[in-house]
Amino acid sequence: MKERLNISIIIPAKNEAESLVSLLPAIQKLIADAEIIVVNDGSTDKTQQVSEKSGVNVVNHPYSRGNGAAIKSGARAASGDIFVFMDADGQHRPEDIQGLLNRYNEGYDMIVGARGSESQASKARLFGNGLYNRIASYMTGQKIVDLTSGFRVVNAKKFKQFLYLLPNGFSYPTTITMAFFRAGYSVAYEPIVAPERIGKSHINILKDGMRFFLIIFKIGTLYSPMKLFFPASLVFFLTGLIYYIYTFFTDGRFTNMGVLLFSTSVLVFLLGLISEQITALFYQTRSRSDDRVD
């Protein structure tokens, strides 16, 4: 395929020598002409040696900077027009790459490998991912099937526009998905099956779960602030209204607390309105800058 000449496969890896031994040859066999970049994120095992022995390009971090930082290093080092991101732990099958590429060639800007319920490591993770998907779908107004999947094919030029937004931790998929929707780029999902990982997971469910929520709300303020501020404003307004009705019938007066709740409601709404205008101006400015670069 002509597209394969411009494909860069980027694999962040931290202590994944055990799985890379079989993963890298499998990728090379299936997509022989792709540029393969392994980003060694401060591994203490033989990740670097295994990667170099396979003949792929290796980007080394002197110490662990995080999964997102590895993704950014790989993107900066890659030369392809199409990026394929996949994990090094064996959960992303090389044979699924072509399916994602075929879907990408239909004209999308990003294709996400969407895991089904059978691919979730536990019920807790299945519930958590489902909750993330619903919250992000509300923020974007688009159905998001798998917000946290790290297996994706994306237009390289458009991906690089958002490198400055990507966090250094595990939540880069969350950020890039919502940023693409905000920019008006097309995103689609391709079903995949994720086998059980090889080795120990580097994700802490509680710690990284809270971080994912913070990232969703952070990107939500960049994406559509009023979807965060308006419900909060409405809660304060309704609370103030109920409190006013209660105090009117019990004390026959309008209390200071009622004034405070109504005032807070107005202030939160105005903050959301201003944030919405700033966000619109921000993306318009970036769009014009990108057009000038083109």
- Give per-residue pLDDT as tens, 36-75: 999 999 999 999 999 999 999 999 999 999 999 999 999 9
Give the per-residue pLDDT at 35: 95
Q: How far apart are CA 194 and CA 169, in angstroms?
A: 21
Q: Is the pTM of this model over 0.85?
A: no
- pLDDT tens by residue, 6-21: 899 999 999 999 999 9
**Looking at residues 213-234, what average pLDDT do you find?**
78
What pLDDT, on a 0 to 100 scale, did the predictor assign at position 28?
Answer: 94
Say if residue 201's pLDDT is above 80.
no
Do residues 60 and 48 make contact, with C-beta atoms less than 8 angstroms apart? yes
Inter-CA distances, 144 with 14, 53, 160, 252, Å: 28, 39, 22, 50
Whether residue 292 is predicted with pLDDT greater than 80 in this model: the reply is: no
Q: For 54-200, where are the alpha helices, taking DSSP H only?
A: 67-77, 97-104, 123-140, 156-160, 172-182
- Is the model's pLDDT at 2 over the cut of 50? no
Please say whether the dihedral angle defined by the alpha carbons of residues 92, 93, 97 and 99, taken in this order, is positive or negative: negative
Q: Which two tokens stand for residue 139?
A: 């923020």
Task: Kindly report which listed range (26-35, 98-107, 136-145, 258-267) carries the lowest average pLDDT score.
Answer: 136-145
